[in-house]
Amino acid sequence: MIEIYSTSDMAEIAFLKSLLHSASMEYVVFDEHTSGLFGGFADCRIMLLDEDDYDSACELLAEAGLEPSAPEGFGK
């Protein structure tokens, strides 16, 4: 799994879920429910997906006007 996007905006997460789901890409939202446990202190959600889908997912995000995360060490 590799990071594709991180945000604290729940609307962006919902939008990205919709994009990736419509493209039949499997993903995981890390820390999706953590802010509820800690009263909003853990606001960042990180979306992860399979490395094989990274390039296609980056294209989807770019078409939607969003900038994907560029994980350190990826592609080295």
Tell me if 68 is assigned to some domain.
no
Categorize the per-residue pLDDT at 76 as very low, low, confident or very high, splitting at 50, 70 and 90.
Answer: very low
Residue 71 inside a domain? The answer is no
Domain count, the chain: 1
Which residues make Cβ contacts (< 8 Å) with residue 5, sequence separation at least 6?
A: 12, 16, 46, 47, 61, 66, 68, 69
Residue 19 lies in a domain: yes
Q: Could you report the per-residue pLDDT of 4-27, keeping only the tens digit for each?
A: 998 888 888 889 999 999 999 999
Q: What's 45's domain CATH number?
A: 3.30.70.790
Instruction: Choose between 29 and 76: higher pLDDT.
Output: 29
Q: Is residue 75 a part of any domain in this protein?
A: no
Asked whether residue 25 is domain-assigned, the answer is yes
Residue span of the structural domain in which 30 resides: 2-63
**Mean pLDDT of the region 41-60:** 85
Under the banding of pLDDT at 50, 70 and 90, the label for residue 72 is low
pLDDT at 46: 83
The whole-model pTM stands at 0.75
Would residue 76 count as lying in a domain?
no
